[in-house]
Structure 1
Amino acid sequence: MELRHLRYFQVVAQELNVTRAAERLHMAQPPLSRQIRQLEDEVGVALFDRVGRGLRLTEAGRFLLEQTTQMTQRLEETIESTRRIGRQDKRWFGIGFVPSVLYGVLPELIRELRGAEQQVEVGLAEMITVEQVEALKSGRIDLGFGRIAINDPAIRQEVVMAEPLVAAVPASEPAPAQATLTPQGLATRPFILYPARPRPSYADHLLSLFRAQGLQLRVAQEANELQTALGLVAAGVGITLVPASIQRLHRDDVRYCPIDAPGFVSPVIMSYRVGDSSPFLAQAVAWVMRQGQ
């Protein structure tokens, strides 16, 4: 499948008439019809129902149109940004992040960077810390925000802050008698561990905290996403531990309880390439470290 197939499909889906679609595409009708048949053959399902002289999208066709429209719009934006960067109208600055930092310093940093330098295109990519390290080394991003330390001579890491952990429990269960929960009590409960993969990750940090207390978690379910883990908590499958800033989500079906244990924290760790002399990176790093003081 090629991008032109999707472009042809989208125009035909908008017009629901091959003749009009061919006119828009500045091509003859027979080759356009062949391209659409080739796309249907490759996908393996009918995308259009033929109704008289017109067309009607099938359920599969409607789904493909919705999904590919989003994809091609994003591609067009990426190509336009690439042109601007190639013309040196703008410079690209990529930031990788784990989802939980979206409730802390990251949104303010993004606003700061976008407001400070109009000639820089700030791009965002959700990825765990291990993926951030590889993306930094390959040049796909310039700055990363994660929650685990990585020993790599090509990467410099700075601990921005140590964020307390809280236990996420179902809002439907009675409030605990004690104001705070203990690791011993938490270890007796079914636990939702996230992210399940790839590893090492925040999940390994949590496991190490309990091991340091001589405890082993009863993992009832693994999840890949923070929101999935909280949804499973709300459903009563188990509990989980999240950084305190996640409480800003204000979910009605989940309650957050403090934990009475020294060291039950999750660091926010900033990563960037050793030897990167970019003034814009230096500006970003300095701003983040001021916020963490």
Structure 2
Amino acid sequence: MDGTLNFRHLYYFWVVAKEGGITNASKRLGLAIQTISTQLAQLEESIGKALFTQQGRRLVLTEPGQLALAYADQIFMLGEQLQEALGDADSVRIRLTVGISDSLPKLTAYKMLEATTRLDKPVRLVCYEDQFEALLADLALHKLDLVLTDREVRSGTTLRVFSHQLFESETIVVGSPALAKTYAKGFPENLNGAPFLLPARNNALRGKIDEWFGTHGVRPDVVGEFEDNALLNTFGRRGLGLYFAPAALASEMKEQFGAHVVGHVPQVREQFYAISNERKIQHPAVEAILAAAQAAGAS
């Protein structure tokens, strides 16, 4: 390895890896196949490692190629973000790209982002929804500025990301007016056999709910289990079962979903987190979200 990395060659490698082959990469780049092949060969020669191996008619990344791709992802994703940031410098709005965990109640996500609406410079929100692990990977690659979720990052992870608890809330059991009328009296002893819509078992809240059921000797009739909280709320609005919600959102749940409080469950508490990556210069909108949470916790 000669110690000099040609970033143009690295970019061609990155496009080939992303496009799944030299032919597709040549179409995207508008270059001849031979030109790209030559550039790849020069890159491999300069670093002293084979980045691709031929399997049949396909190019497959070698182990060094996979490592190189991980770094190239960060380099060129940051390059794209740099272009966006420079474009935003003259823009009226600050861009904030947020990943929202699919298990997070959408009303909660709004509550967590509300501080961005009060900045001196307005914010342009770009929101993506996905599973927790996928969002963390995108955050680590700097594709996202922030992830909002209902769980913190486990200690010992190799990802350079950091959890910030924004707020905590006890929960309530809610349901349609008809279900609330049936089960509100005698709560929680009368919940045995009651229809329930519950988070999926991989959800951070589900274990706490099951423990609470066990403590009170409740055996619910589980009508459905959902990874997507929005879908759970939709079924709840149709009156198909009782479900848990943050007590802090009781009025919003009634207004938007017609969900009436059946009973309070102070033993089951939800924590909500903002997860950021390691950056020397913090995003002003991210700082506003964290500062608002700290102010609320101190009040």
TM-score by length of 2: 0.55
Look up the match of 1:256: 261
Q: Does 1:162 align with 2:165?
A: no
Return the offset for 1:192.
1.0
Q: 1:290 deviation in Å?
A: 1.4
Match of 1:85 in 2: 85
Q: Distance in 2 between matches of 1:273 and 1:122?
A: 18
1:236 Cα deviation after fit: 4.0
The equivalent residue for 1:116 is 120
CA contact (8 A) 2:236 2:242 kept: yes
Check the 8 A contact 2:106/2:230 in 1, yes or no: no
**Paired AA for residue 163 in structure 2:** Q
Q: Distance in 1 between matches of 2:250 and 2:223?
A: 22
Q: 1:142 aligns with which of 145, 153, 161?
A: 145
Q: Is the 8 A contact 2:163 2:275 kept in 1?
A: yes
Runs of 4+ in 1 over 6 A off after TM superposition: none
Which runs of structure 2 are paired with 1:1-293 in the superposition (5 Å)? Answer: 84-87=84-87, 89=89, 92-98=95-101, 99-100=104-105, 102-103=107-108, 105-112=111-118, 115-118=119-122, 121-152=124-155, 153=157, 154-173=160-179, 175=181, 181-182=187-188, 185-186=190-191, 188-194=193-199, 196=200, 199-210=202-213, 217-244=220-247, 245=249, 247-249=251-253, 250-251=255-256, 253-259=258-264, 261-274=265-278, 276-278=280-282, 280=284, 281-293=286-298
Secondary structure of the residue aligned to 2:178 is coil
Q: CA RMSD in A?
A: 3.7
Give me the TM-score of the superposition, normalised by structure 1: 0.56
Q: 1:128 to 1:170 in 2, by over 3 A?
A: same
What CA distance in whole angstroms lies between the structure 2 residues aligned with 1:255 and 1:213?
22
Consecutive unaligned residues in structure 2, runs of 5 or more: 1-80
Unpaired stretches in structure 1, ≥5 consecutive residues: 1-80
Matched-pair contact (CA < 8 Å) for 1:207–1:217 = no
Q: Deviation per CA, 1:240-274: give whole Å up to 9, x if none.
A: 11112154142575322232x44222112222124
Structure 1 residues 286 and 219: CA distance shift in structure 2, 3 A: same
Contact 1:166-1:258 within 8 A present in 2 as well = yes
Q: Which residue number corresponds to residue 50 of structure 2?
A: none
